[in-house]
Structure 1
Amino acid sequence: MAEERSVDSPRFPIHKPYFAAQIILRALAIAATLAAAWLIITAKETSTIIGFKEVARYNYSSAFKFFALANIVSFVFSILSLLSTFFAGRKTVHPAVYFCLFLHDLIMAALLISACSAATAIGMVGKYGNDKTGWMAICDYFPKFCRRSTVAVGCSYVGFLCYLILTVVSATKSTTSSKP
């Protein structure tokens, strides 16, 4: 006998390629955001400039602080979304689950791109300076810090791309699941 479906709570099958893409992309986003947060938080270099010892650290810049925090938040919520994806991996899923995943992915993508943009902007000032405002380039004095920050930002962009793809996949699944 066919299973009766309520009009109030229709359920739709999960397709294996969709489920595999969700797991792989979320795991990659976890790795990328964890790496980005760890790299930027542990980035520190001391250099002597004109006889004075100077230190470069992420927490001296509000943009890098935001970048670190955004990657930590994204890392934590990525773990939670991965766990929810595993639990939702039953044979049938309510369409609201797809919509919640879409909203989560959209928010994480927006958070990561704003953090990446802020860190990229301050990184460009650090590398090239700004003559019109009197900001000097510091990457000549702190090359290790700048390289580590660049790698951290690159990792975070990978996390953003994962969430961008997840947003498209979740939106597609959300709209195809709502059709009768």
Structure 2
Amino acid sequence: MENNGAKNRQNPPLKSHKCSFGAQILLRILAIAFTLAATLLILNSQQTAIVYGIEMDARYSYSPAFKFFAIANIIGCVFSVLSLFFATVVCLKRLDPKNYFFLFLHDMIMMGLLLAGCAAATAIGYVGNYGESHSGWMPICDHVSKFCHKVTNSVILSYVAVLLYLCLTIISANQSRNIQV
């Protein structure tokens, strides 16, 4: 009788672990996809337009904020692949809460990096779309709309990746709370 009770008490945590492990794998794969898509969009965003008889060229590489955004997404994508490998190989074999703590730290750092890149790109995108009359900066998105649409879509995809990393951070923190000191 006691063995049946012990088995029943152990199954829910194992089932819960499998659910959270499956969610982590799915969220990490989605984070890879979204950061890769955001990276490809920003790297391929360029447009040339003629404004008042002057040829104007818009590229992501002309803005340090867009460069930082692109690099943050590249780093996020690469480290998402590495964390997927770590999560599947290490965490599946050993159910040590310390492994989840390392994933928690990783996820927090990646979320912060991606959020910083998104914030920088959003600020420059806002100025590009609406201008800044006090500084004399004119909006350019009326003239290079294809460029602006690609950058906007890239930033949206990256914000989705930030939300995925927020979910991963919560899951990793929940799993690592069982650390025995």
Please report the TM-score for the alignment, with normalisation by the length of structure 2. 0.89
Judging by fraction of residues, say which structure has more helix: 2
Query: Counterparts of 1:156 and 1:91 in 2: how far apart (Å)?
Result: 31
For the residue of structure 2 that corresponds to 1:88, the secondary structure is helix
The match for 1:144 is 146
| Residue pair 2:98, 2:179 contacting (<8 A) in 1 also | no
Query: Counterparts of 1:68 and 1:101 in 2: how far apart (Å)?
Result: 23
Query: Counterparts of 1:142 and 1:79 in 2: how far apart (Å)?
Result: 34
Query: Counterparts of 1:96 and 1:173 in 2: how far apart (Å)?
Result: 9
User: CA offsets, 1:95-125, max 9 Å, x none?
Assistant: 2101100000000000011000000000000
The match for 1:45 is 47
For the residue of structure 2 that corresponds to 1:132, the secondary structure is coil
The match for 1:114 is 116
Q: Which amino acid aligns with 2:162?
A: F
For the residue of structure 2 that corresponds to 1:134, the secondary structure is coil
Q: Which amino acid aligns with 2:125?
A: G
Q: Which runs of 4+ in 1 moved over 4 A?
A: none
Query: Counterparts of 1:134 and 1:106 in 2: how far apart (Å)?
Result: 38
RMSD across aligned positions (CA): 1.6
Confirm or deny that 1:93 pairs with 2:89.
no
Q: Which amino acid aligns with 1:178?
A: I
Query: Counterparts of 2:116 and 2:93 in 1: how far apart (Å)?
Result: 36
Post-superposition offset of 1:67:
0.1
The match for 1:26 is 28
Confirm or deny that 1:178 pairs with 2:175.
no
Query: Counterparts of 1:139 and 1:151 in 2: how far apart (Å)?
Result: 14
User: CA offsets, 1:67-110, max 9 Å, x none?
Assistant: 00000000000000001111024354222101100000000000
The match for 2:5 is none
Query: Counterparts of 1:90 and 1:32 in 2: how far apart (Å)?
Result: 24
Confirm or deny that 1:77 pairs with 2:79.
yes
User: CA offsets, 1:103-161, max 9 Å, x none?
Assistant: 00000000011000000000000000000000110000000000000000000001100
May I ask how many residue pairs the two structures share in their alignment? Answer: 168
Post-superposition offset of 1:178:
2.2
Query: Counterparts of 2:37 and 2:93 in 1: how far apart (Å)?
Result: 34
Post-superposition offset of 1:53:
1.0
Q: Which amino acid aligns with 2:89?
A: F
The match for 1:5 is none
| Residue pair 2:45, 2:59 contacting (<8 A) in 1 also | yes
Show structure 1 runs of 5+ residues with no match.
Answer: 1-11
